[in-house]
Chains A and B, each alone.
Chain A
Amino acid sequence: MEQLVYKKPDSIRDDFKITFCPGCDHGVAVKLVAEVLDELGVRENTIGIASVGCSVFSYDFFNVDIVEAPHGRSLAVATGVKRSKPDKVVFTYQGDGDLASIGIGETIHAMTRGEKVTAICINNTTYGMTGGQAGPTTLIGQVTTTTTKGRKVEISGYPLKVSEILKEIDGTAFVARVTLDSPQAIMNAKKCIKKAFEAQLKGLGTGFVEILATCPTNWKMTPQEAHARVRGEMSEIFKPGIYKDKVSEAK
């Protein structure tokens, strides 16, 4: 007897449009969030926050209530939603420009308050939607449309290591950095995303997952080359791993 072993998650709309470029890891990340919402059985009780950047069209695929935040303000909007409706599951889906550059203040303070929300950050070392400019996480030497000769420390400083910062904040309950460059990595990422939601469901604090993701279009690489870059130079600077896990400690 034939068994269904995989299907599109219910938390992805039936009439979904994946609005990302070919081979972009965003698609996989979105799917993992949706799978976790399905597995936790919270789809119908969830409010998502769409941020500015490639994730702004979240309502094209997420099959949950969505409110869009101005650039960088997702975690402030999430705070307003969660405090007003504490029984809802609230998550933000943000890029690194949104969460770590323009919104770093909101990020740090929402997590300092220990908001019971989940934040997913796609770190692809560039501003994807606007055409691949240098961002807070752009690696030293990386060529972008605003660092055409490579990012230089003396001009633009260093890449920001978000997970390392956020693990130090008392209000975070789960902090992990994951990749999506292989089926195994994807399964691991899903486990972490699930824990980041459990952190909120158990009332432990903010759950955070930083996903090292590809931007094949702006990196000017094939999706395969882009994954090699994630495994290589990106993982050297941004070390994947679980940085903080109060969820397991609480079990």
Chain B
Amino acid sequence: MGRIVLNRDKCKACYLCVDACPNKVLEVDKSVNALGYYPIKVNPDKTCIGCAMCARVCPDIAIEKVYR
């Protein structure tokens, strides 16, 4: 089991993390963030393994921490 700490207001909706996540845990949120983008969100039904791939590919440091 893993867990990410997401700052949704930093996300600029490039969705590189969505592609990078091996378990497809991340998906597009339906409400906009402070920047006006549709940020990513964690799908609670999927299991995060804490691989931090999402954080590594995130150009905006919106995924601030990853725990495993």
Q: Consider the complex of A and B and state whether they touch directly, i.e. have CB atoms less than 8 Å apart.
A: yes
Give the total number of A-B pairs whose CB atoms are below 8 A apart.
75
Known: A5-B52, A27-B61. A223 touches B14 (CB 8 A): yes
- Interface 9-residue window, one of A14-22, A43-51, A80-88, A102-110: A14-22
Chain A contact residues, majority secondary structure: mixed
Do A4 and B61 touch across chains, with their CB atoms under 8 A apart?
A: no
Do B64 and A8 touch across chains, with their CB atoms under 8 A apart?
A: yes
Give A25 to B58 CA distance when docked, in angstroms. 9
Contact of B13 among A18, A22, A186, A227 (CB under 8 A): A22
Rounded to whole Å, the gap between the CB of A192 and the closest CB of chain B is 15
Q: Does A40 belong to the interface (CB within 8 Å)? A: no
Q: Name the CB-closest residue of A to B5.
A: A7
Interface 1/0 per residue, A163-200 and B, CB below 8 Å: 00000000000000000001100110000000000000
Do A4 and B53 touch across chains, with their CB atoms under 8 A apart?
A: no
Do B57 and A183 touch across chains, with their CB atoms under 8 A apart?
A: yes
Rounded to whole Å, the gap between the CB of B25 and the closest CB of chain A is 15
Q: Does A153 belong to the interface (CB within 8 Å)? A: no
Do A26 and B65 touch across chains, with their CB atoms under 8 A apart?
A: no
Q: Name the CB-closest residue of A to B50.
A: A5
Do B67 and A5 touch across chains, with their CB atoms under 8 A apart?
A: yes
Contacts of A227 in B (CB 8 A): 16
Do A4 and B57 touch across chains, with their CB atoms under 8 A apart?
A: no
Q: Which residues 11-63 in B have Cβ within 8 Å of A in the complex?
A: 12-16, 19-20, 37, 50, 52-53, 55-61, 63
Q: Does A130 belong to the interface (CB within 8 Å)? A: no
Do A186 and B12 touch across chains, with their CB atoms under 8 A apart?
A: no
Known: A12-B61, A27-B61, A186-B56. A22 touches B37 (CB 8 A): yes
Contacts of B15 in A (CB 8 A): 223-224
Do A16 and B61 touch across chains, with their CB atoms under 8 A apart?
A: yes
Q: Does A31 belong to the interface (CB within 8 Å)? A: yes
Do A224 and B16 touch across chains, with their CB atoms under 8 A apart?
A: yes
Q: Name the CB-closest residue of B to A186.
A: B56
Contact of B59 among A5, A18, A187, A224 (CB under 8 A): A18
Interface 1/0 per residue, A20-39 and B, CB below 8 Å: 11111111100100000000
6 contacts between A and B (CB under 8 A): A5-B50, A6-B65, A23-B12, A25-B59, A187-B56, A216-B14
A18-B60, A26-B59 known; 5 new pairs, CB 8 Å cut-off, are A6-B56, A16-B61, A18-B10, A21-B12, A23-B12
Point out residues on A near B: beta carbons under 8 Å.
2-8, 12, 16, 18, 20-28, 31, 182-183, 186-187, 216, 223-224, 227
Which 7 pairs across A and B sit closest by C-beta, in order of nearness? A27-B59, A23-B14, A22-B12, A6-B52, A6-B66, A223-B14, A6-B55
